């Protein structure tokens, strides 16, 4: 294999490793270092409600499911309830059938986007950003993988 291809392949592997490392961070159960949301077996994980609290009248969410969640169609169950105190509405969703970790990641991202659309009116964008030269180091590629996966990861 030519050298540039080997380097590119290595960089790709490092980036994948970063994304995987971020997934694993959610599984770590050392107190204070992450909390697991996906340590369940796949069946239990798929059935778990994932929720965000949105500062809005619950009826607004009951009337119209936010577009990022509506895009999943019948594959999702969506539940809206009044949050305690003055916190607005709890917007929860889960898949009806078996799903992959990637799809659960897409649901996390969709819930966050739904909350932003209701509260702010738009989804925060962060690319493209000004930056200088990106050194192609293994650590850098690992971090690239972490960043790419970050919107879909977390404890949600």
- Taking the complex as a whole, how short is the minimal distance between the CB of residue 74 and another protein, in angstroms? 27
What are the φ/ψ torsions at residue 153 (nearest 5 degrees)?
A: -105, -175
Q: Which residues between 60 and 89 bind another protein (CB under 8 A)?
A: 86-88
Sheet holding 76-82, edge to edge: 50-54, 89-95, 76-82
Residue 153 binds another protein (CB under 8 A): yes
Is 22 a binder of another protein (CB under 8 A)?
Answer: yes
**Which one, of 17, 21, 1, 28, lies nearest residue 155 by Cα?**
28
Least distance (Å) between residue 75 CB and another protein: 22
Q: Residue 91 forms beta bridges with which residues? A: 52, 80
- Residue carrying the six token digits 């996966």: 149
Q: What whole-number distance in Å separates Cα of residue 144 and Cα of residue 62? A: 38
For residue 128, whether the previous peptide bond is cis, meaning omega lies within 30 degrees of 0, is yes
Note whether 111 binds another protein by CB under 8 A. Answer: no
Q: Is 114 exposed, middle or buried (0-12, 13-18, 19+ CB in 10 A)?
A: buried
Binding another protein by CB under 8 A: which of 13, 34, 48, 58? 34
Least Cβ distance, residue 58 to another protein (angstroms):
14
Decide if residue 102 touches another protein (CB under 8 A). no
Minimum gap (Å) between residue 88 Cβ and another protein: 6
114 binds another protein (CB under 8 A): no
Contact residues: another protein, CB under 8 A? 22, 25-26, 28, 32-35, 52-53, 55, 86-88, 108, 112, 115-116, 119-122, 124-135, 137, 139-140, 143-144, 146-147, 149-156
């Amino acid at each position: 294999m030519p050298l540039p291809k080997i380097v590119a392949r290595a960089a790709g592997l490092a980036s994948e490793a970063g994304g995987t490392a971020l997934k694993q961070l959610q599984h770590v159960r050392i107190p204070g270092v992450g909390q697991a949301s996906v340590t369940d077996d796949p069946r239990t994980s798929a059935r778990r409600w994932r929720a965000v609290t949105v500062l809005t009248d619950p009826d607004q969410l009951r009337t119209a499911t936010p577009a990022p969640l509506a895009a999943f169609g019948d594959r999702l169950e969506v539940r809206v309830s009044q949050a305690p105190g003055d916190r607005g509405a709890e917007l929860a969703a889960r898949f009806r059938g078996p799903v992959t970790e990637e799809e659960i990641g897409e649901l996390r991202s969709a819930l966050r986007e739904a909350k932003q659309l209701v509260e702010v009116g738009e989804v925060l964008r962060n690319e493209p950003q000004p930056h200088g030269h990106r050194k192609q180091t293994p650590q850098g590629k690992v971090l690239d993988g972490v960043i790419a996966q970050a919107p879909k990861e977390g404890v949600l």
